[in-house]
């Protein structure tokens, strides 16, 4: 008489329950073969012309937004972050070895 351990909710735990996990490893490859994302028979028109160039005003707008963002981050926020780190380091150093 062999006794099988029971899993959650009283279900039996069998060694063969590991097999479906192994099947999951090959599932994406088999799905790609059996269910392609763009089958040949679908009506997906191919692009006929390249994308147009980006207008100059969008480049100006992008740079007008990027420049102040860089200044705010590197000139204002980085020194604040370094100051907070230095304050923490000094507080830890002054508290002594007992609180580390």
pLDDT tens, 63-88?
A: 999 999 999 999 999 999 999 999 99
Q: Are 13 and 5 in contact (CB under 8 A)?
A: yes
Task: State the distance between the two ends of the chain, measured CA to CA, in whole angstroms.
Answer: 58
Q: Return d(Cα 83, Cα 90) in angstroms, integer.
A: 10
Does this model's pTM top 0.75? no
Highest average pLDDT, of 13-22, 35-44, 74-83, comes from 74-83
48 phi and psi, to 5 degrees?
-100, -20
Q: Write out the H or E segment, with its range, that includes residue 21.
A: helix 19-34
Q: What is the pLDDT of residue 41?
A: 57
């Amino acid at each position: 008489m062999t006794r099988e351990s029971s899993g959650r909710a009283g279900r039996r735990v069998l060694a063969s329950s590991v097999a479906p996990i192994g099947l999951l490893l090959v599932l994406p490859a088999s799905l790609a073969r059996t269910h392609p994302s763009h089958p040949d028979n679908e009506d997906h028109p191919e692009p006929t012309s390249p994308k147009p160039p980006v207008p100059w005003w969008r480049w100006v707008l992008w740079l007008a937004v990027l420049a102040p963002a860089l200044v705010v981050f590197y000139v204002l926020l980085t020194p604040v972050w370094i100051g907070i780190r230095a304050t923490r380091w000094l507080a830890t150093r002054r508290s002594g070895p007992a609180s580390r």
